[in-house]
Structure 1
Amino acid sequence: MSDIQQQIEQERDNARTVCDVSGANSKECAAAWDAVEELQAEASHQRQVKPQTTFEKYCDENPEAAECRIYED
């Protein structure tokens, strides 16, 4: 997780530099901030992913086990 946070900080610094050079209303500035937003969205998505339970891991490794069978109505 800290790796993506470092990338966000780097992109944020880059966006500030680009906006200082190109102007706040430039396409380059908007694109640089879009990159920051994309990384922030990915970081948020990674935080929302639930870790697998021990039972889910067991079923992934042993799909033929009786307790892991899925019956459809």
Structure 2
Amino acid sequence: MSDIQEKIKTEIEAAREACSADSNDSEGCAAAWDAVEELQAEASHQREKKPQKSSFDQYCDENPEADECRVYDN
């Protein structure tokens, strides 16, 4: 995740430079900020994709020796 955050920071800097070099309403400035928005959207989607563990799974991770968490092979 930190990789995409670094890309976002880089694109923000590039967008600021593009807007300061051109006018703020130029096509280059708008395109640069569009790239930033796309990366931010992707970062948001990646955060949503992480499967959440149930309370029971978290309990078993912390207490693998508990009777409730035993796994039996057939």
The aligned counterpart of 1:49 is 49
5+ long unaligned stretches in structure 1: 54-73
Residues 8-67 of structure 1: CA distance to partner in whole angstroms, max 9, x if unpaired? 0000000000000011010000000000000000000000003387xxxxxxxxxxxxxx
Percent of aligned pairs with the same amino acid: 62
The aligned counterpart of 1:3 is 3
Structure exhibiting the larger radius of gyration computed from Cα positions: 2
Taking structure 1 as the reference length, the TM-score comes to 0.68
Within 5 Å, give how 1:16-27 maps onto structure 2. 16-27=16-27
SS of 1:24's equivalent? coil
- Equivalent pairs, count: 53
Distance, in Å, in 1 between the alignment partners of 2:48 and 2:30 is: 27
Residues 1:38 and 2:38 are matched in the alignment: yes
Letter in 1 for 2:5: Q
- Computed over aligned residues only, the root mean square deviation of the Cα atoms, in angstroms, reads 1.4
Kindly report structure 1 stretches of 4+ aligned residues shifted beyond 4 Å: none
Residues 1:12 and 2:18 are matched in the alignment: no
Taking structure 2 as the reference length, the TM-score comes to 0.68
